[in-house]
Amino acid sequence: MHVNPAAPADLDTLVPLFAAYLRFYRVVRSEAEVARFLGERLERGDSRLFVACNEAGAALGFVQLYPFHASLELKSAWLLSDLYVDEAARRRGVGEALMQAARRHAEASGACGLQLETAASNHQAQRLYERLGYRRDTVFHTYWLALGN
């Protein structure tokens, strides 16, 4: 298995994985919508995507990061927004390899940290995150304001 930064040429590989990721979270979007969204990210470079592939080149999973500024640290940081591993590839180290690629990228960019959130019911992912050194925030609560756009 190898993990590499995604490029616009990887769009066709990423779309089915991202659509499966959305289904995991019970979000229904067409593959055309997914392709448009990911295509914009890849073209604009406003996120960093890494894709894990097996030796035959089949995509196994991806991670997507967005830059932000950690105001309380007065430094840049990365939001680990999306992580997904194909069901058939789970429990084989793919998620950990993607998380390590995200960490290496953040460290290389001089970021002060990586932030993520996951569903309260996603216990398998939480175990991975905690094993890799992530700690659950006990000081701040996350809020969301839907704007209807």
Please provide the DSSP assignment of the chain as one string: -EEEE--GGGHHHHHHHHHHHHHHTT----HHHHHHHHHHHHHHT-SEEEEEE-TT--EEEEEEEEEEEETTTTEEEEEEEEEEE-GGGTTTTHHHHHHHHHHHHHHHTT-S-EEE---TT-HHHHHHHHHTT----SS----------
For the stretch 19-34, pLDDT in tens is 999 999 999 999 999 9
Structural domains of the chain ordered from first start:
2-131 (3.40.630.30)
pLDDT for the residue numbered 29: 95
Res 149 pLDDT > 80: no
Instruction: Tell me the pLDDT of the chain averaged across its residues.
Output: 94
What percentage of the chain exceeds 70 in pLDDT?
A: 99
pLDDT for the residue numbered 146: 82
